[in-house]
Amino acid sequence: MTDDFLLETRGLTREFSGFTAVNKVDLRVRRHSIHALIGPNGAGKTTCFNLITKFLQPSSGAILLDGRDITRTKPADVARLGMVRSFQISATFPQLTSLENVEVALQRSLGRSFHFWRSKRTLAPLREQAMTLLDDVGLAFAANRVVADLPYGQKRALELATTLALNPEMLLLDEPTAGMGREDVARTVALIRRISPNRTILMVEHNLSVVADLSDRITVLARGEILAEGAYGAISTDPRVKEAYMGKGEPAHV
Amino acid sequence: MSKIPGALPARPAGSSLGVSRGLILVAVAAALLAAPFVFYPVMLMKVLCFALFATAVNLLLGYAGLLSFGHAMYFGGAAYVCAYARKELGWTPEASILAGVAFSAVFGLLTGLLSIRRSGIYFAMVTLALGQLFYFLCLQSPATGGEDGIQSVPRGLLFGALDLENNVTLYYFVLAVTGFGMLAAYRAINSPFGQILTAIRENEPRAISLGYRVAWFKALAFTLSAALAGLAGATKVLVFQLASLTDVSAPMSGEVVLMTLVGGMGTVLGPVVGAAIIVSMQNYLADVGEWLIVIQGLIFIATVSLFRRGVVGEIAARLRRGRGT
Ligand SMILES: Nc1ncnc2c1ncn2[C@@H]1O[C@H](COP(=O)(O)OP(=O)(O)OP(=O)(O)O)[C@@H](O)[C@H]1O
Ligand SMILES: [Mg+2]
C-alpha cells in the first residue's frame, strides 16, 4: 500500500529553446492522497502540469498513470483516463451560462456529443446533477448567468465544479484558490477535503495555509528541479526551502 | 479565432413574447408564400440559395469559430456534380441535388481534416489554397466544360410530377430546401454537439482538458457546413440552369463570408439578411461594373470595424438592452 503511486514521473524534463523549465523531475503521487507542488514563481509548476496532462510534450522522461505509460498519450485521452486538470488562469466557457459550463463536462458521459440531430433538450436529465455541483461550490444562484459577467473568484469556483463534473480519479489543480476572497477560500478548502476520499489530488498552491491544511505530502520545486519533499512540518523548517523563496524575493504569503 | 464578439447563442424569449412570436411567424410564412407574385422569382431564389450558403458558412464561422475562405469549393463543386448528373446522366432533379450534397459532404470531410490541423489565420489560408487548387482542377477538367461551364441544364420534373420549368413551382421547392437547410443548421447548433462546438470555440484547451477530441468536432462541423453549402450550390443549378467557374472561384468564397458578416454571424437570421442585402445590391448596382467590388470592400471594412455584430446581431443586442437583460 505504501508503494501505491497513482502518478509517477521519471526524469521529466522540458526545455524551451535552451532554457530548461523542468529538469529531471521524479514525482510520485500516492493514491488517494493530496499532494502539493509548491515553489517560487517561475519554478516550473505549471509546466509540470502541462507535461503531465500532455498539453506539452516532454523533451525527455516518462509519465506513468496507474502504472500505464502515458508519455505519448494525447491530452484529451489523458482526461478520458480519469486525470483531469484545472488551469492557473481560470478556464471557463465565457459566453455560456454557469449551468451550461457544467453541462459541457457532464454530457461526455452520455456519449451523445456528436449527435447533431438531437435537441439540446435531451441534456435536461443532467440539469439536477449540474445544479448540485454548482451548489457545492456556492454558485447555485448564478446558474443562469453568463460566465463572462462573473467575478474572478466565482469563475475559479465554476472551474472546480466543471472539473468535478467528470468525477475524475485524479485531479490536478493549478492554484485553485488564487483570486478568491477569504470566505471562498474556506469553502474551496472544505470542498477539496470533502471530495478527496477515493481521489488523488495534485495541487499547485501559493497559499501556504491551504497547503498546510490539506496536503499529505509536499514537493518543493525551484528552477525546474525538486528541492525538497516531505510533510508540511519538515518542509516549512527546511532552510533550503526558505532560501529558495527568499532568494526570489518572494516571501511565502500565508 | 478563439473568441467571436457578439456570437451569442440564441436564447429563448420570455413566455410573454410567445404569442407575438407566433404571429410574426405566421406573417413571415404568408409573406414568403406570396413573394413570387410580387417580386421576380429568380431573384428571390437567388437570395434563398445564398441565404442557405451563408447559413453553411455561419455554422462554421459563427459557432465553431472557423473562418473558411474556400467554401466555393463545396458550393461550386456540388453545382458541377448536380449539373452533370442532371444534364449528362439524365438523373432526376432530386437525385442530382443529393449527388451534389453527397459530393460536398465527402469532399468537405477530406479537406476539413486537412484544414483543421491549423487554426486561426492559418486555417483560413489553407482553405483558400485548397479552394484555388480546386478552381484550377475545375478549369482543366473536361467534365466541367472549362470556361463555358455546364449550360442549359434542364430543370425537369420534381418527384416525377412537379414541373420545375414553372418559376413559381421552383420557388416553392427552393423555399422548402432552404427552410430545411436552415432548420438543420439550427438543430445542429442547438444540439449536444452544438454545445460542445461552442465550448471549443470559447476555450479550446479547456474543452480538451475535459476529454473532448476537438479535431473530430471541428471535422464534423466542417462536413455539415460543406454539405449545406453543397445543397445551396446544387439547388442554384436548377434555378440558373448553369454551373460555372464563378461558383468555385475565390470571390464567391469571399462574398459568402461578407454576407455572413454583414447579416451577423452567430445569429440564425443573419445569413438570410446578409444574403438579401448583398444580392439585391449586386442586382441594383449591376451598372457600376468594377466599382461593385470597391463598394463591397467598403461594406466589408465598415462591418468589421463598426458593426461587428452585423445587422441582425446589432438589432438583437439593442432589443436585449431595451429589455434590460
Ligand atoms: N511555452 C513556454 N515557452 C517558453 N518558456 C516558457 C513556456 N512556458 C513556461 N516557460 C518558462 O518556464 C518557466 C516556468 O514557468 P511555469 O509557468 O511553469 O512556472 P510556475 O512555477 O507555474 O510559476 P507561477 O507560480 O508564477 O505560476 C518560466 O521561466 C517561464 O517563463
Ligand atoms: Mg504556474
What was the ipTM of the complex prediction?
Answer: 0.88
Restricting to A residues 19-58, those with a Cβ less than 8 Å away from any Cβ of B are 53, 55
Q: Is the pLDDT of residue B125 over 80?
A: yes
pLDDT band with cut points at 50, 70 and 90 for residue B22 = confident
Based on the domain organization, do A119 and A161 belong to the same domain? yes
C-alpha cell, B209 = 482538458
Of A167, A185, A206, the domain-final residue:
A167
Per-range mean pLDDT, top range of A101-105, A221-225, B61-65, B281-285: A101-105
Q: Scanning every residue of chain B, which has its alpha carbon at the shortest distance from the alpha carbon of A126?
A: B192
Based on the domain organization, do A96 and A120 belong to the same domain? yes
Q: Is the pLDDT of residue B54 over 90?
A: yes
Q: Scanning every residue of chain A, which has its alpha carbon at the shortest distance from the alpha carbon of B63?
A: A95
Q: Cβ A94–B207 below 8 Å, yes or no?
A: no
pLDDT, residue B2, reads 41
Q: Separation of A195 CA from ligand 1 center, angstroms?
A: 29
Based on the domain organization, do A58 and A178 belong to the same domain? yes
Tell me if A43 CB under 6 Å of ligand 1: yes
pLDDT band with cut points at 50, 70 and 90 for residue B160 = low
Of A122, A148, A167, the domain-final residue:
A167
Lowest model confidence (mean pLDDT) among B201-205, B218-222, B298-302: B298-302
Ligand 1 atom nearest to CA at A224: 14
Higher pLDDT: B161 or A15? It is A15
Closest Cα to atom 12 of ligand 1: A21
Q: Is A119 on the interface with B (CB under 8 A)?
A: yes
pLDDT, residue B252, reads 84
Based on the domain organization, do A128 and A174 belong to the same domain? no
Tell me if A44 CB under 6 Å of ligand 1: yes
Q: Cβ A108–B211 below 8 Å, yes or no?
A: yes
Based on the domain organization, do A160 and A113 belong to the same domain? yes
Q: Measured between CB atoms, which of A53, A95, A119 is closest to B8? A: A95
Q: Is the dihedral of CA A133, A138, A143, A147 positive or negative?
A: negative
The Cα–Cα gap between B234 and B242 comes to 10
Of A110, A145, A167, the domain-final residue:
A167
pLDDT, residue B253, reads 87
Question: pLDDT > 70: what percent of chain B?
Answer: 91
pLDDT, residue B12, reads 47
Q: Is A125 on the interface with B (CB under 8 A)?
A: no
Q: Scanning every residue of chain A, which has its alpha carbon at the shortest distance from the alpha carbon of B199?
A: A93
Q: Which of A12, A14, A15, A47 to mutate to test the pocket of ligand 1 (most atoms within 8 A of CB)?
A: A47
> In this structure, are strands A5-16 and A28-30 parallel, antiparallel, or unpaired?
antiparallel
Based on the domain organization, do A178 and A62 belong to the same domain? yes
Q: Answer for the pair A224, A25: CB distance below 8 angstroms, yes or no.
A: yes
Q: Is A151 on the interface with B (CB under 8 A)?
A: no
* 3-class SS of residue A117: coil
Question: pLDDT > 90: what percent of chain B?
Answer: 32
Based on the domain organization, do A14 and A31 belong to the same domain? yes
Based on the domain organization, do A161 and A174 belong to the same domain? no
pLDDT, residue B299, reads 79
The Cα–Cα gap between B150 and B119 comes to 35
Q: Is A180 on the interface with B (CB under 8 A)?
A: no
CATH number at A202 reads 3.40.50.300
Query: Which pLDDT tens digit goes with each residue over B88-116?
Result: 888 898 889 999 999 999 999 999 898 88
Based on the domain organization, do A4 and A125 belong to the same domain? no
Query: Which pLDDT tens digit goes with each residue over B244-263?
Result: 888 888 888 888 888 888 88
The pTM for the full model equals: 0.85
Ligand 1 atom nearest to CA at A221: 21
pLDDT, residue B9, reads 46
Ligand 1 atom nearest to CA at A39: 21
The DSSP H or E segment spanning A28 is strand A28-30
Q: From first to last of its 254 residues, what are the pLDDT tens digits of chain A?
A: 446 889 999 999 999 988 999 999 999 999 999 999 998 888 899 999 999 999 999 999 999 999 899 999 999 999 999 999 988 887 899 999 999 999 999 998 877 888 888 888 887 888 888 899 998 888 889 889 999 988 888 888 899 899 999 999 999 999 988 878 888 888 889 889 988 888 999 999 988 889 988 999 999 998 989 988 888 888 888 888 777 776 544 444 44
Average pLDDT over residues B159-169: 78
Say how many domains are in chain A: 2
Based on the domain organization, do A103 and A157 belong to the same domain? yes
Q: Measured between CB atoms, which of A80, A87, A117 is closest to B187? A: A117
- Domain region containing A227: 1-74+169-254
- Among B264, B219, B280, CA closest to B50: B280
Based on the domain organization, do A147 and A175 belong to the same domain? no
Based on the domain organization, do A16 and A60 belong to the same domain? yes
Tell me if A35 CB under 6 Å of ligand 1: no
Q: Measured between CB atoms, which of A79, A95, A119 is closest to B190? A: A119
Average pLDDT over residues B197-208: 93
Tell me if A42 CB under 6 Å of ligand 1: yes
Query: Which pLDDT tens digit goes with each residue over B260-269?
Result: 888 888 888 8
